[in-house]
């Protein structure tokens, strides 16, 4: 079994680390403090071809393998988890469904500008009364001549306020149960689509999240993604992809927490010696590094399985639940290592702890991941 990355993968990782140190590290604290969308960084990522990493060049992408894409999300998240998530959501949840389920015409019209970073994508499935329970959604889409008329409200739509293209899920025939939901590509200029409330969040504050209100929103029938009734299948496949991205985000957060903890513990002196020489601190750092390694291997393995065309739903859920819970645990430990300073603005670990928590919630809660894992094992 080969655990080494290729020279190309190592070079891409190094290039992204250099990019983040130059463009993202200097503004990460400011965009978090002001909940500001880092448009200038996203534009530079688009210039470098980073907004369509796993999609073929014929559709405007970079043609990178999924493991390399996963590593890049990790590196971006190491500097700024909000920016890492913005790219991950845009790629896995918004562009992915079009690549895997769209027609050639849809790929040329919608995927190309997304892959080039000319437009930003969003994925809207969650509703005020329908989170993990997707079946509780109430948004409907009714065919009226050559158009679908969509009515409903989506909430917690990541990238919602800045998106140009939305993947929207709605019932076309609820009497069919799980086979009655469909997916649609909806451009922001579609009549009847409006961005609603913007959410100010505890963490990943620079990523933009909002309600999307659809009131007699009309889209051409050729904007149906896949076939009628395939919406749930498309959503679940998209979540499998996205969960690897969230696991990578959590790994990046944890790597940053370890970096900060090692650096600070070597500098902070108490009882006449650096706290890094105290066993209590050493054990925290050892546990952090061990769980980080385990989370990284789980995440890379899930990405490798996907790249090989092998089943990976269970492994993606395992990677996400483990990496997310480890990131939440160890960013708290990083704050503990920093003591009172870690609880103050201006120290990166304070931001990391806030950013880590959401990885246990979005794109399927930790509880939902355990349902996926158990379902795969017990079927």
Query: Which residues are known catalytic residues?
Result: 363
Structure-block tokens of residue 8: 């190309």
Cα–Cα distances (Å) from 359 to 77, 79, 254, 326, in that order, read 12, 16, 12, 10
Backbone dihedral angles phi then psi of residue 182, each to the nearest 5 degrees: -130, 165
Cα–Cα distances (Å) from 246 to 47, 229, 368, in that order, read 24, 27, 14
Give the contacts of 175 (CB within 8 A, at least 6 positions apart): none
Structure-block tokens of residue 129: 């009364």
d(CA 286, CA 272): 22
Give the contacts of 328 (CB within 8 A, at least 6 positions apart): 353, 356, 357, 359, 360
Question: Which residue intervals of the chain are DSSP H helices?
Answer: 7-19, 28-33, 39-47, 66-79, 81-88, 96-101, 104-106, 112-115, 231-267, 279-307, 313-338, 348-357, 366-378
d(CA 17, CA 28): 14
d(CA 145, CA 214): 19
């Amino acid at each position: 079994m080969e655990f080494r990355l290729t020279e190309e993968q190592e070079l891409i990782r190094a290039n992204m680390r250099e990019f983040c140190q130059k463009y993202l590290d200097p503004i990460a604290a400011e965009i978090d403090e002001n909940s500001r969308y880092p448009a200038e960084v996203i534009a530079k990522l688009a210039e470098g071809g980073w907004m369509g990493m796993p999609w073929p060049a014929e559709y405007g992408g970079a043609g990178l393998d999924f493991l390399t894409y996963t590593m890049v999300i990790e590196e971006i998240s190491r500097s700024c988890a909000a920016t890492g998530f913005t790219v991950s959501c845009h790629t896995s949840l918004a562009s992915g469904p079009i690549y895997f389920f769209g027609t050639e015409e849809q790929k040329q019209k919608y995927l190309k500008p997304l892959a080039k970073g000319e437009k930003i994508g969003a994925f809207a499935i969650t509703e005020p009364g329908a989170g993990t329970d997707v079946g509780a959604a109430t948004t409907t889409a009714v065919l009226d001549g050559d158009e679908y008329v969509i009515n409903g409200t989506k909430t917690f739509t990541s990238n919602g306020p800045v998106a140009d293209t939305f993947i929207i899920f709605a019932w076309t025939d609820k009497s069919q149960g799980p086979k009655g939901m469909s997916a649609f590509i909806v451009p922001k200029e579609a009549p009847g689509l409006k961005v609603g409330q913007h959410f100010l969040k505890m963490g990943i504050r620079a990523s933009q999240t909002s309600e999307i209100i659809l009131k007699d929103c009309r889209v051409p029938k050729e904007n149906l993604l896949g076939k009628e009734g395939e919406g749930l299948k498309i959503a679940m496949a998209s979540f499998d992809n996205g969960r690897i991205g969230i696991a990578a985000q959590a790994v990046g957060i944890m790597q940053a927490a370890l970096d900060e903890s090692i650096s600070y513990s070597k500098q902070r002196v108490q009882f006449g010696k650096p706290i890094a020489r105290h066993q209590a601190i050493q054990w925290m750092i050892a546990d952090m590094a061990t769980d980080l390694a385990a989370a990284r291997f789980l995440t890379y393995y899930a990405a490798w399985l996907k790249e090989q065309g092998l089943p990976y739903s269970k492994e993606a859920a395992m990677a996400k639940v483990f990496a997310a819970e480890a990131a939440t645990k160890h960013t708290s430990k990083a704050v503990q290592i920093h003591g009172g300073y870690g609880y103050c603005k201006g120290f990166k670990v304070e931001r990391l702890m806030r950013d880590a928590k959401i990885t246990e919630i979005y794109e399927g809660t930790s509880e939902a991941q355990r349902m996926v894992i158990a379902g795969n094992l017990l079927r």
